[in-house]
Amino acid sequence: MEVIERVSIIRGRMEALRCSGKRIGFVPTMGALHEGHLQLLRASVQENDVTVCSIFVNPTQFNNPEDYKMYPRTMEQDAELLRSVGCDILFAPHAEEIYVQQSLLQFSFGPLEAVMEGEHRPGHFNGVATIVGKLFHYVQPHRAYFGQKDLQQVAIVKQLVQGLSYDVEVVRYPTIREADGLAMSSRNKRLDAEQRQTATILYSALQLARQQLPEKPTYSIKAAVEAYLTGAYGVALEYFEIADPNTLQPLAQVRPGQEVALCIAAHVGPVRLIDNILVNLNEV
């Protein structure tokens, strides 16, 4: 596996690969890799001639400096995992390579960024769009792979691709979970043993909402989820939404046969976790 740190080198390398007719798959990450990332990488290796993974903890998408400081960084272990799944190139730039000067770009995604993550993390999606736009420019992928756990982020990236006419297909893969249902996340590494056990309540809350979908109005389901989590020690609910899976706008009511997204964010101890499930009401 080739490891590249310089923007000038990755750009030249990718231009040469494109000119030679190679299909390029790309998995952008912030490191601390887990099985969810590896699923994306395996898919890319299978579907493309060359697979690139980036590891960059992007400072502009953290609205909490302490969260950025505490984000797990495990580069050596990550490199070994990438080799094990057949990744061809690891792009691991330093911040001064990506942000030569302070970025003044301001993206607006309209209603899509006014809810959930966008509402609770001001500036987050501007940072996401900035770094993804830069990485797409450097890597020039044909396909880019993302996990469903970051459902709103995937929607933002799709809108970015459409708005800026990037020649890249955005591919979304289902969330990978631990045996007890906890969505795999790099942030899970920050949970102690007790918090790790407590964190499973997020998935339980989503399952509770799923069970009630055919029978109760959305306001009642939201109240039930909030009540369910209120008594949980060490858990602070930030939001729970029943939303349209494409626009991610809250739904006042759901119809038979409709697909809905159940989305949740909560703090377990000091660690902020998100999760979601997609539900087709024909299958409930």
Same domain, 136 and 240: no
pLDDT tens for each residue of 136-189: 999 999 999 999 999 999 999 999 999 999 999 999 999 999 999 999 999 999
Q: What would the two tokens of residue 123 be? A: 């500036």
Same domain, 146 and 196: no
Q: Percent of the chain scored above 90 by pLDDT?
A: 90
Is residue 5's pLDDT more than 90? yes
Section 243-259 average pLDDT:
92
Closest CA to 160 of 102, 107, 104: 107
User: Which residues are identified as catalytic?
Assistant: 37
Is residue 52's pLDDT more than 80? yes
pLDDT at residue 231, rounded to an integer: 80
4 labelled as ligand-binding? no
Is residue 257's pLDDT more than 90? no
13 labelled as ligand-binding? no
pLDDT at residue 204, rounded to an integer: 97
150 labelled as ligand-binding? yes
Domain count, the chain: 2
185 labelled as ligand-binding? yes
Q: Is residue 284 part of a domain?
A: no
Beta-ladder partners of 171: 145
Same domain, 273 and 206: yes
CA pair distance 141, 169, nearest whole angstrom: 8
Q: Is the dihedral of CA 144, 147, 150, 155 positive or negative?
A: positive
Q: Locate tokens 């469903």: which residue?
A: 148
pLDDT tier, 88 (very low <50, low <70, confident <90, very high otherwise)? very high
Residue 205 CB neighbour total at 10 angstroms: 23
Q: Is residue 211 part of a domain?
A: yes
C-alpha separations of 262 from 75, 165, 242 in Å: 33, 30, 5
Same domain, 128 and 196: no
Query: Edge-to-edge, what's the strand order for the sheet holding 2-4?
Result: 2-4, 89-91, 50-55, 24-29, 143-147, 169-173
Mean pLDDT over the full length of the chain: 95
Residue 44 CB neighbour total at 10 angstroms: 27
39 labelled as ligand-binding? no
pLDDT tier, 214 (very low <50, low <70, confident <90, very high otherwise)? confident
Section 38-45 average pLDDT:
98
In a 3-state reduction of DSSP, which class is residue 3? strand
Q: Which of 173, 207, 227 is the last residue of a domain?
A: 173
Q: What would the two tokens of residue 238 be? A: 């930030």
- Structure-model confidence comparison of residues 233 and 112, the more confident one: 112
Q: Which of 120, 151, 173 is the last residue of a domain?
A: 173
Domain CATH number, residue 97:
3.40.50.620
31 labelled as ligand-binding? yes
Model-level pTM greater than 0.85? Answer: yes
Question: Residue 218: CB partners within 8 Å, gap ≥ 6?
Answer: 242, 250, 251, 252, 253, 254
Q: Which of 150, 173, 196 is the last residue of a domain?
A: 173
Same domain, 137 and 212: no
Give the domain range for residue 200. 186-277
149 labelled as ligand-binding? yes
36 labelled as ligand-binding? yes
